[in-house]
């Protein structure tokens, strides 16, 4: 990791005790210490070799002493590094409320944070906590024994170099030679210096690496921008009334690229999850977005904006039943007219026509009444769908319930007349669709879109739909 990344500590990562220059200086010092240690070991080995009686023995003592010294240095440095890592490993606070609790602040209100399905694995942190407490406890209680063990190890290394028989019992209280003191010093030096160096590295560079992963979130504004941007395009609802009922996915928002790189388990608040889910939906990951938005609704039940995004996702998935039902719930919680809600309500009004009767036309009529209340009834397409819904109702009651409902007929006729009033141009697409759903055979319409065909031959419908009289 370079100096530029280390300097991120100054940008709110929480590691403020060291600057990039301080870390580089520490690392340079460690390199110099390592070089000095090697030189000392080399000089020591040469000194041992010079005391030999002949050249062959000198070479043997030199190689033996330098190998033993390097192995001891490496072993103790490794142990010191492990201790430094255990003492320095950063503690990950899973929730913002934990930080507030540690500071004695008031916890967040319910619904403002979330425990996600997947949390960061903190087993290493827990092990570090346990081991550091155990090591400190044992170190304080058994300090003399630890020093004695180090002394025995140094004496054993010295005896090995000199070619003497190693008797650990005798080494405990045995005389201290020059080589023993040297190895004892090497062990202490490598142990503490490596522990300190690894502690500093763990508390600085490793902490920054952890934070880079754990806090690689976008800004709060990015989540809001992604959340506020629609998931479906306005092309989903057209004035042609009954084109394809498949929703058109909106183009990705500016913030989507940044949010798509963030793991789901790092998100906490409903806004973060909903913004991330909206970005996923626009990227085509609708099932991921579906589950995430449901999770956000568990945090903030009844949030109209989250329900709106979830309804759009249902529409993209082709889950018409869920989409229509959620939109009906949404408009019940959003009495004040809203352009986005009106848009999904228009889509749901269309989709409801394709649901099995009687639920389909009943829900479509309910949505038509809502659209009229919020002044969207002036759209010819809304009136056309309303006419189709009442046409379905009339046909269902006539064929299934065996009775003729004049009220359904009159409502269908009134809605068809309203289409003519709102769109005088007989060649307009909505007028063409009106004639096609009335008589698909005569006006070359889809055979399945025949909601008003039940009224074919009715003079009133002929006059309004075919002749365009109001």
In this predicted structure, which of 60-69, 311-320, 330-339, 368-377 has the lowest mean pLDDT?
A: 330-339
**Given this model, what pLDDT does residue 43 score?**
86
**Given this model, what pLDDT does residue 443 score?**
93
**Given this model, what pLDDT does residue 127 score?**
79
**Given this model, what pLDDT does residue 100 score?**
41
Place 170 in a pLDDT band, splitting at 50, 70 and 90: low
- 236 touches 268 (CB < 8 A): no
Place 172 in a pLDDT band, splitting at 50, 70 and 90: low
**Given this model, what pLDDT does residue 285 score?**
92
Q: Which residues 6+ apart lie within 8 Å of 336 measured at CB?
A: none
**45-75, pLDDT tens digit by residue?**
888 778 777 788 788 888 888 888 889 889 9
Residue 130 host element (H or E): helix 123-141
| Torsion (CA) 330, 331, 337, 340 in degrees, nearest 10 | 40
**447-463, pLDDT tens digit by residue?**
899 999 999 999 999 99
pLDDT at residue 160 above 70?
Answer: yes
**94-110, pLDDT tens digit by residue?**
443 444 444 444 344 33
Place 249 in a pLDDT band, splitting at 50, 70 and 90: confident
pLDDT averaged over the chain?
80
For residue 7, give Cα distances in angstroms to 197, 198, 199. 19, 19, 19
249: DSSP letter: B
Establish how many alpha carbons lie within 13 A of residue 85's alpha carbon, considering only the half-sphere containing its beta carbon.
Answer: 9
203: DSSP letter: I
**Given this model, what pLDDT does residue 2 score?**
44
pLDDT at residue 113 above 70?
Answer: no
**Given this model, what pLDDT does residue 21 score?**
61
CA-to-CA distance for 268 and 278, rounded, in angstroms?
A: 15
In this predicted structure, which of 34-43, 170-179, 378-387 has the lowest mean pLDDT?
A: 170-179
The segment with the largest mean pLDDT, out of 16-25, 61-70, 210-219, is: 61-70
**Given this model, what pLDDT does residue 355 score?**
94
Place 6 in a pLDDT band, splitting at 50, 70 and 90: very low
For tokens 């001891």, name the residue: 72
**Given this model, what pLDDT does residue 183 score?**
85
Write out the two tokens for 325: 């039902």
Place 326 in a pLDDT band, splitting at 50, 70 and 90: very high
- 302 touches 333 (CB < 8 A): yes
The percentage of residues in the chain with a pLDDT greater than 90, rounded to a whole number, is 34
**257-309, pLDDT tens digit by residue?**
888 888 888 888 999 999 999 999 999 899 999 999 999 999 998 898 999 99
In this predicted model, which residue has the larger pLDDT, 31 or 93? 31
In this predicted model, which residue has the larger pLDDT, 470 or 375? 375
For tokens 């568990």, name the residue: 298
In this predicted structure, which of 79-88, 104-113, 209-218 has the lowest mean pLDDT?
A: 104-113
Place 118 in a pLDDT band, splitting at 50, 70 and 90: very low
> Domain 216-354 sits in which CATH superfamily?
Tetratricopeptide repeat domain (1.25.40.10)
Measure CA of the first residue to CA of the last residue in the chain; give whole Å: 77
In this predicted model, which residue has the larger pLDDT, 58 or 90? 58
Please report the DSSP string for 278-336 in residue order.
HHHHHTT-HHHHHHHHHHHHHHSTT-HHHHHHHHHHHHHHT-HHHHHHHHHHHHHH--S
**Torsions phi, psi for 335 (to 5 deg):** -65, -25
Mean pLDDT of 70-94: 80
The percentage of residues in the chain with a pLDDT greater than 70, rounded to a whole number, is 79
Write out the two tokens for 369: 């009444």
Place 414 in a pLDDT band, splitting at 50, 70 and 90: very high
- 170 touches 158 (CB < 8 A): no
Place 141 in a pLDDT band, splitting at 50, 70 and 90: confident
- 296 touches 277 (CB < 8 A): yes
Longest CA span, the chain? 130
416: buried, middle or exposed (CB in 10 Å: 19+, 13-18, 0-12)?
buried
Nearest to 256 by CA among 272, 276, 242: 276
Other beta carbons within 10 angstroms of residue 247's beta carbon come to 25
**Given this model, what pLDDT does residue 180 score?**
82
Place 19 in a pLDDT band, splitting at 50, 70 and 90: low
- 408 touches 397 (CB < 8 A): yes
Q: Domain locations in the chain?
A: 3-102+118-215, 216-354, 379-470
Mean pLDDT of 225-248: 63
């Amino acid at each position: 990791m370079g100096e530029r990344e280390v300097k991120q500590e100054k940008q709110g990562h929480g590691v403020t005790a060291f600057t990039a220059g301080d870390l580089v200086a520490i690392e340079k010092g460690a390199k110099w210490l390592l070089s000095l240690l090697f030189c000392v070991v080399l000089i020591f080995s040469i000194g041992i070799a010079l005391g030999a009686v002949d050249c062959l023995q000198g070479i043997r003592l030199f190689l033996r002493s330098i190998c033993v010294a390097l192995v001891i240095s490496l072993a103790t440095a490794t142990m010191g590094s492990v201790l430094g890592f255990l003492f320095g490993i950063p503690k990950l606070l899973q929730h913002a409320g934990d930080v507030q609790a540690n500071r004695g602040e008031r916890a967040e209100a319910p619904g403002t944070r979330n425990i996600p399905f997947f949390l960061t694995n903190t087993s290493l942190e827990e092990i570090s906590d346990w081991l550091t407490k155990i090591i400190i406890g044992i170190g304080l209680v058994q300090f003399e024994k630890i020093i004695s063990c180090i002394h025995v190890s140094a004496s054993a290394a010295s005896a090995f170099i000199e070619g003497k028989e190693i008797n650990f019992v005798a080494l405990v209280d045995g005389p201290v030679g020059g080589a023993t003191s040297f190895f004892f010093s090497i062990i202490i030096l490598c142990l503490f210096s490596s522990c300190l160096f690894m502690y500093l590295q763990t508390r600085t560079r490793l902490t920054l690496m952890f934070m880079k992963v754990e806090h690689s979130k976008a800004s709060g504004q990015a989540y809001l921008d992604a959340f506020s941007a629609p998931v479906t395009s306005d092309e989903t609802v057209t004035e042609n009334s009954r084109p394809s009922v498949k929703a058109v996915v909106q183009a990705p928002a500016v913030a989507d690229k940044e949010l798509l790189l963030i793991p789901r388990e790092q998100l906490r608040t409903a806004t973060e999850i909903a913004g991330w889910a909206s970005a996923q939906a626009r990227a085509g990951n609708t099932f991921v977005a579906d589950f995430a938005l449901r999770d956000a609704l568990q945090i903030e039940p009844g949030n109209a904006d989250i329900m709106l995004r979830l309804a759009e996702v249902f529409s993209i998935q082709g889950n018409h039943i869920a989409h229509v039902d959620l939109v009906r719930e949404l408009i019940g919680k959003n009495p004040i007219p809203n352009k986005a809600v009106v848009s999904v309500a228009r889509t749901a009004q269309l989709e409801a026509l394709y649901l099995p009767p009687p639920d389909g036309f009943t829900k479509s009529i309910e949505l038509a009444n809502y659209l009229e209340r919020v002044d969207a009834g002036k759209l010819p397409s809304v009136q056309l769908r309303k006419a189709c819904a009442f046409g379905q109702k009339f046909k269902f009651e006539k064929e299934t319930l065996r009775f003729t409902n004049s009220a359904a007929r009159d409502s269908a006729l009134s809605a068809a007349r309203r289409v003519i009033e709102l769109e005088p141009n007989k060649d307009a697409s909505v007028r063409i669709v009106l004639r096609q759903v009335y008589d698909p055979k005569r006006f070359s319409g889809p055979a399945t879109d025949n909601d008003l065909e039940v009224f074919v031959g009715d003079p009133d419908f002929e006059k309004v739909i075919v002749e365009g009289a109001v």
